[in-house]
Amino acid sequence: MFDLGMQELILVFVVALFVFGPKKLPELSRALGRGVREMKRALRGVKDSFDEAESRIEESVSLETRPEVPEKEEKTEVPEPMKQVEKPGPDEEGPEEKKDDG
């Protein structure tokens, strides 16, 4: 969290011991522990309320953007492919009858 190594923690403890004395240090440690616990609890409550609001927003957005079911379209008659192709006339060559003059 604060990226403190063992040497830094020992230094902080020694300074606190000199400043507050051996009798006050346990009381201060307990108070600090309670404060940290309350802070974590408050942060968790704020996070939970944000998560709840976010899930409500996502739910309402998903309901609003739900894809509509398209109406059934009337089926149109599809002509058979062979009836559409025109047969070549007597003086025209078909695609497979073309001769290469090369």
| pLDDT tens digit sequence for 19-61 | 888 888 889 889 989 999 999 999 999 999 999 999 998 888 8
Does 41 map to a domain?
A: yes
Residues 92 and 89: their CA atoms lie apart, in Å, by 5
Using 50, 70 and 90 to split pLDDT, how confident is the model at 5?
confident
| The length of the chain, given as a count of residues | 102
Domain range holding 52?
A: 29-63
- Residue 63 scores a pLDDT above 90: no
Q: Is the pTM of this model over 0.85?
A: no
First to last CA, the chain: 84
Does 53 map to a domain?
A: yes
Does 52 map to a domain?
A: yes
Residues 25 and 32: their CA atoms lie apart, in Å, by 10
Does 44 map to a domain?
A: yes
Tell me which of 67 and 23 has the higher pLDDT.
23
For the chain, the domain total comes to 1
